[in-house]
Amino acid sequence: MSKIKPAQGSPYARILGVGGYRPTRVVPNEVILETIDSSDEWIRSRSGIATRHWASPEETVAAMSVEASGKALADAGISAEQIGAVIVSTVSHFKQTPAVATEIADRIGAVKPAAFDISAGCAGFGYGLTLAKGLVVEGSARYVLVIGVERLSDLTDLEDRATAFLFGDGAGAVVVGPSEEPAIGPTVWGSEGDKSETIKQTVPWDEYRTGTVERFPAITQEGQAVFRWAVFEMAKVAQQALDAAGLTADDLDVFIPHQANMRIIDSMVKTLKLPEHVTVARDIETTGNTSAASIPLAMERLLATGQAKSGDTALVIGFGAGLVYAATVVTLP
């Protein structure tokens, strides 16, 4: 018989607050057209993007995260000192070590929390949320700060017609804490590594360092392959998340998919047969694809604008490089 004392966590976990930060510089499609042969109409029809935000040198991954975290903490009514763990999902923090989560934790005033980064691309927020839920239920932390943050403008090839218009910068954060009732459903997540070449960094860092290549590494993708995968496979994953939560599309109030492409979002809505009463996040139009930050940023905007309200039931799904994915149903803070 084991002598280990059982965990003393909460029976359930929930999102208690959300915050977002978008860089001050707004970049319209006209700026993108200075370096690629395209048109505003083509970009809008292919992606739904009209503008995106690009960070200034001062708006670092850490700085944007601190701003978003402060808003999430205030929204949750939680002090930084109460945070037991900080989880940051990002692919655009250029220091291999230490984790940017440790810097963020210190800057917000958290007291010796667990702090670590994860790399799960556009599914990163879902991965972080799942880990946070586990920490709270297990009892390793009472409150967990989950941050999705990107400076994808640093990894954008402005001469790549397929991707130059896609990416934006920003940070979104949520506070996860104890709940007396289920408020974060089971996560349906996974990976398909055999498709990893469809979204990738153009070259490894060491090839740039040694001078093997002259162009700075950037993110590239096989647009049609990614589109087909997202439309046909991710709708299945979203349905599985609904099934795991014991819900149907009629039970939903809100749908918050990763903001990758407006056509993907619209196709998923159709495939899932979402009723008209379901509010659909379409933050991509003015924010672009912010990878790990896109779901919390979209969530924050829906709540701030009154398109969604506290207590609403929302299906969230992220998917991207890896290829990886994560979907769950949550109660909005």
Q: Which residues are catalytic?
A: 122, 258, 289
First to last CA, the chain: 41
| All residues at 6 or more sequence positions from 176 whose CB lies less than 8 Å from its CB, including other chains | 13, 14, 15, 16, 129, 132, 133, 136, 143, 144, 145, 146, 184
Kindly report the three-state secondary structure assignment for every residue of 181-220: CCCECCCEEEECHHHHHHEEECCCHHHHHCCCCCCCCCEE
DSSP conformational letter for 303: H
Cα(209)–Cα(302) distance, integer angstroms: 42
Structure tokens at 88: 């940051």
Encoded amino acid at 121, one letter:
G
Residue corresponding to tokens 């104890």? 178
